[in-house]
Structure 1
């Protein structure tokens, strides 16, 4: 037995083990998606030097291309989100699928699910990415089952569609009108939608003049390029030692960021909420709640050497700006060591007020949304935006429409 055979045997063993884990965790729900995952050699689509143990981890994305600054612009997504998104699409044999963002392995699994009578079209804006995907799909035996083309999928793909499902495998800030036009009347659009810096993979279906969600999964993807690209605004706040903290705004950036000049030189404030969480329990919906309701919401990053970097294990990269001050989500030990308490630390002349505003939203989330059914999402195209929204609904403006997020009440 040569080394290649040994590697293939080990890969098959790890793939089956991962399939079992994904099924037990609830990401794989259907027999057809399970069969597709077990059939496709995931290791054939990642860089050759990627260890099998990394390739077959549930939550490991593998970067396949970086830009000149070292930022990932293409990757093989984590296995859990790939199977979760295929499940969200609710595919059946014989269906047609448009994949936006090419990598190869996801398209191969789609081909397995829709079968020989189905159609899979994979589109990417980057010719290097499509060339790589084409080569790897051919080598893995899927060249005649997946068509790969180079195009900006923000625009309609001439000669194709309508599609029973459109699966977007890059982070989208908005829904392109072309996607709605190319989607079959009863089709499903699955898209990792960025909502004020927080992403969910949302499955949308038509509901008269708008789209409503059928499911949502926590997810993160490299951002979209081309006409659908959205650039965040960044404010760099230097400290006295030449290091900096950066605030990144998806939307709603301050009108006068100069108010934050020198903010890190101020004394730090902190306010605690009394809201606790056990270790290992997800609180991802708190981040989404902030994105909906916390004024001045942004992402925060701290360079090594800053005070924040030194206390990195006690905070999360979510912040809120209030005029000349900003607060960020923090935790401290609680529950006799079995958990943590949420709170906010802040810098600036009005840091106490900024921290209090964040803590009030933590408490509101705990009272109104925590341990309740997941929020639902809707997309209202321009021209069909409702005049009034129900109680508990947040609205985020987009280029081509409005996203609403409805938190269950009562």
Structure 2
């Protein structure tokens, strides 16, 4: 018998809130109260109740012509994390970019009757759907707007909080310009193929991170969209990057995979993989991401770290990426490198040095400070400074 047959939506919602507390996604009473109040299933009318109230699964809303999701209701766990990052207070004025309805209803609960919520989306179907769901759930006061998120919604500015619920490749000037002087921007920002939900506060230079958490979102559409270059090495293996300095020679890299593998082990602990991934993504001299299918991982050609994408170091004919193995001497697992190609040794040595440096100096939560500096880029760019369309992302570790 299904959970929904035993428990109705109210019981499932109460279970969801308890689980979100247990997993530290919800850490404050106002966010807990918002999740307890908003009927999540009303914003997923065609989904089974078990899916609507699942902590870690998204609910599909709209697909493109290829069957890929272009709009989803985000997982409850991620929505809770981002709302805690936002620290929304009663009476605030909040803009949400990327609409689905449910998150806007949660925000309305947080700002209360004296606050205001505007939710905007580029897709008329999504805006209309959000409006219907909000009205049906009793949140008619939320303002829905059809707009390209790149421009924000200037008519309601300044906003105390701007929350972006699609993966953004850059931060357009409108978001900073429409933010109140002491406002906060919470945005899933993609840097070299990896995305973090970053809570940015304003400072004299631009934006500085208050916190960051691992996040996965469908990408922005419209003017803010950005395409990465992808090299398909063979069926089931691809390398992808948005760094214009990185050359991807698909034929040579595919040939490298057929050469004997070189393994290097770091004698350093492997844990906190999201923190390590961010560090590697910003520190590798020629970074990309390696993806591999389950079949090729099971065949032994590529390590399991590539299933969801792993930071990879490439040059014209060689490739190196992170792996791990069990090792009680390093606390359970040890980080290492697999490399292929004529220059495998040089790439592996560079990669292992970074694994050791991170483990010995930055192995903790929140070790990075992320800045966004609008305007022209400094010259030359440091390794941890990434050029964007409207500014640069600069990351330092402590």
Normalization by structure 1: what TM-score?
0.88
Q: Specify the SS of the correspondent of 1:212.
A: strand
Match of 2:98 among 96, 101, 116: 101
**Distance 1:100-1:261 versus aligned 2 partners, 3 A rule:** same
- Whether the aligned pair in 2 keeps the contact of 1:43 and 1:55 (CA below 8 Å) is yes
Give the match for residue 117 of structure 1.
114
Deviation at 1:132, TM superposition (A): 1.1
Match of 2:9 among 11, 15, 25: 11
CA distance in 2, matches of 1:305, 1:222: 25
Give the match for residue 67 of structure 1.
64
Match of 2:290 among 296, 300, 310: 300
Give the match for residue 24 of structure 2.
26
Give the match for residue 36 of structure 1.
34
- Whether the aligned pair in 2 keeps the contact of 1:314 and 1:332 (CA below 8 Å) is no
Question: 1:274-298 deviations in whole A, cap 9, x for unaligned?
Answer: 1234xxx532111001111012222
CA distance in 1, matches of 2:6, 2:389: 47
CA distance in 1, matches of 2:305, 2:82: 30
Question: 1:257-313 deviations in whole A, cap 9, x for unaligned?
Answer: 254352222222211111234xxx532111001111012222212246546754666
Q: Specify the SS of the correspondent of 1:272.
A: strand
Structure 2: unaligned runs, 5 residues or longer: none
Match of 1:169 among 165, 185, 188: 165
Q: Specify the SS of the correspondent of 1:185.
A: strand
CA distance in 1, matches of 2:341, 2:302: 19
Q: Specify the SS of the correspondent of 1:378.
A: strand
Question: 1:44-98 deviations in whole A, cap 9, x for unaligned?
Answer: 11252x3323322222222212212222111111112212211222211111110
Match of 1:335 among 325, 328, 337: 328
**Distance 1:232-1:120 versus aligned 2 partners, 3 A rule:** same
Deviation at 1:388, TM superposition (A): 9.5
CA distance in 1, matches of 2:211, 2:100: 24
1:255 aligns with 2:247: yes
CA RMSD of superposed structures (Å) = 2.5
Deviation at 1:159, TM superposition (A): 2.2
Deviation at 1:137, TM superposition (A): 1.0
Question: 1:220-279 deviations in whole A, cap 9, x for unaligned?
Answer: 1111111001101001113xxxx34100112245336254352222222211111234xx
1:79 aligns with 2:76: yes
CA distance in 2, matches of 1:77, 1:255: 34
- Whether the aligned pair in 2 keeps the contact of 1:275 and 1:366 (CA below 8 Å) is yes
CA distance in 2, matches of 1:87, 1:244: 38
Q: Specify the SS of the correspondent of 1:215.
A: strand
Structure 1: unaligned runs, 5 residues or longer: 1-5
Give the match for residue 186 of structure 1.
182
1:147 aligns with 2:146: no
Q: Specify the SS of the correspondent of 1:145.
A: coil
Q: Specify the SS of the correspondent of 1:117.
A: coil
Normalization by structure 2: what TM-score?
0.91
- Whether the aligned pair in 1 keeps the contact of 2:370 and 2:393 (CA below 8 Å) is yes
CA distance in 2, matches of 1:315, 1:321: 16
Deviation at 1:186, TM superposition (A): 1.1
- Whether the aligned pair in 2 keeps the contact of 1:233 and 1:253 (CA below 8 Å) is no
Equivalent pairs, count: 391
Give the match for residue 349 of structure 2.
356
